[in-house]
Amino acid sequence: MIEANRRNCKSFNVLFTCIGRRVSLLNSFRAAAKELGLSCKFFGTDVTSQSAALQLCDKSFVVKSVDHNGYIRQLLRIVRQNNVALIVPTIDLDLYDLATYREKFEKLGCRVLVSSPQVVKICQDKRKAYRFMTKNGFEIPQTLAARQVLSKRTIAFPMFLKPWDGYASKGNAIAANRKELLFYARKIPNCIVQEFVKGEEYTCDCFVDFDRKIRCVVPRKRIEVRSGEVSKGVTVKNRSIMSKTAELVEMLGAGPGIITVQLIYTKDRRIKFIEINPRVGGGLPLSIKAGADFPKWVLAAVSGVDAQIRFDGFKSRLTMLRYDAEVWVQG
C-alpha cells in the first residue's frame, strides 16, 4: 500500500487517462507543480495519437480502449515503468475499473483520484442515484422508467429523457407531448424520464482530500453548454448550495479528488440535484481561475505538504467565456 507519509517527495510523475482535449487541466497541473517547487512530469493516455492534449504531455501513451480486457494491465505497466505517483481520470468510462483495481496501483506507490467502486456504481446509474438521494432526504426530480410514465393517463409536460447510464449529455431530450415522449423513449437506449424542473442550472466542483474530507465547494452557474460541457459559466458564492452539496458528497462517501455535482436552483430557492460525477468536470478551469486551486491541493497532498484550504476561498462572479484553440502537429 501507499506509504502514509510522503514528506519531501518532490519528484514524481502524473498520468491523465483519456486526456483528449483537457489542455487547460494539464496546464493548470503544470503551473501548480512549478509553484510548489515540484519536479513533475505529466503523461497522458488516449486511444489515438490525434489527441490535442496528448501532444502537450511530457510523454504520451496510445492505449487500448477502456473496455478492452488489457486496458488496466497497460496502465499498471505505464505506472510501474515511469514513476507515476498519481492517476487523474478525466472521463466516466474508466472510473469503475480504476476504482476496482485501485489497490493494485497503490501497491506500486500510485494514488488514483477515484471513489470506491460502490460510489462509482451509484453515480453512473441514474436510477441508483435517484434512490440514494431520495432515501437520504435530498431533493431530485422524480425519475421513472419510460413505461411507467407512458402508462399514466395524464402527464405533466414537458418531460426530460436520458439514458440511465449516459454521460456527457449524450441521448438527452425534452418531450413536449405524449407523441414525442413515445418517440424518444423508443430511440434513447436505457431510457429514464424525469420531471422537467425550471430554474438556474449549477455545476459544483467539490474537493475531497485523501482523508475523505470535503474541503471546498465551488458552484458554477451554467450560462451556455455545448455537447454536455459548459462553454460559458460564472462562479456564484451561494452558501446554501455549497453546504447542501458538501452534505450530499459526504453522505455518499465520494472521493478522493474532485467530485462534480449538477443541480437546479429554483426560483423559490430549492435545490434539486440532478447528477453526481465522481471525476473532474469540464468546467473545472473556471473554479481554478477563481482561486480554488484543485491541482495545487492534489499535488501538495501527494508530495506530503499540508495545503491551506478555505471552504469558500474563491472569487465570486468570475465569468468564463470559452473558445476553441488549436494544437499544431507537423507530420
Q: What is the pTM of this model?
A: 0.92
Residue 95 grid coordinates: 472510473
Whole-number Å distance between alpha carbons of 99 and 95: 6
- DSSP count for the chain of H helices, then E strands: 12, 15
Residue pLDDT, tens place only, 67-103: 999 999 999 999 999 999 999 999 999 999 999 999 9
Tell me, what's the pLDDT at 319? 98
Residue pLDDT, tens place only, 236-248: 999 999 999 999 9
Tell me, what's the pLDDT at 2? 41
User: For 120-124+198-321, CATH number?
Assistant: 3.30.470.20
Tell me how long the chain is: 331
| Phi-psi group of 18: left, alpha or beta (phi > 0 → left; psi -120 to 50 → alpha; rest → beta) | left
Surface-to-core class of residue 156, CB atoms within 10 Å of its CB (0-12 exposed, 13-18 middle, 19+ buried): exposed
Coil, strand or helix: which one is 25?
helix
| Average pLDDT over the chain, rounded to an integer | 94
Whole-number Å distance between alpha carbons of 23 and 88: 14
Tell me, what's the pLDDT at 331? 79
Q: Alpha helices, DSSP H only, in the chain?
A: 23-36, 52-55, 71-81, 95-100, 102-107, 117-124, 126-135, 146-150, 178-187, 239-252, 284-289, 294-303
Task: Please tell me what DSSP assigns to residue 269.
Answer: -
Tell me, what's the pLDDT at 226? 82
CATH-assigned architecture of domain 11-114: 3-Layer(aba) Sandwich (3.40)
Residue pLDDT, tens place only, 145-154: 988 998 998 8
Residue pLDDT, tens place only, 149-201: 989 988 899 999 999 998 877 889 999 999 999 999 999 999 999 999 999 99
Residue pLDDT, tens place only, 29-74: 999 999 999 999 999 999 999 999 999 999 999 999 999 999 999 9
Whole-number Å distance between alpha carbons of 154 and 134: 24
Task: Say which CATH topology domain 142-195 has.
Answer: Dna Ligase; domain 1 (3.30.1490)
Domain ranges of the chain: 11-114, 120-124+198-321, 142-195
Q: How confident is the model at residue 8 (pLDDT cuts 50, 70, 90)?
A: low
Residue pLDDT, tens place only, 197-250: 999 999 999 999 999 999 999 999 999 988 778 899 999 999 999 999 999 999
Whole-number Å distance between alpha carbons of 185 and 202: 26
Residue pLDDT, tens place only, 247-271: 999 999 999 999 999 999 999 999 9
Residue pLDDT, tens place only, 277-289: 999 999 999 999 9
Whole-number Å distance between alpha carbons of 111 and 299: 11
Q: How confident is the model at residue 325 (pLDDT cuts 50, 70, 90)?
A: confident
Residues 6 or more apart in contact with residue 152 via CB below 8 angstroms: none
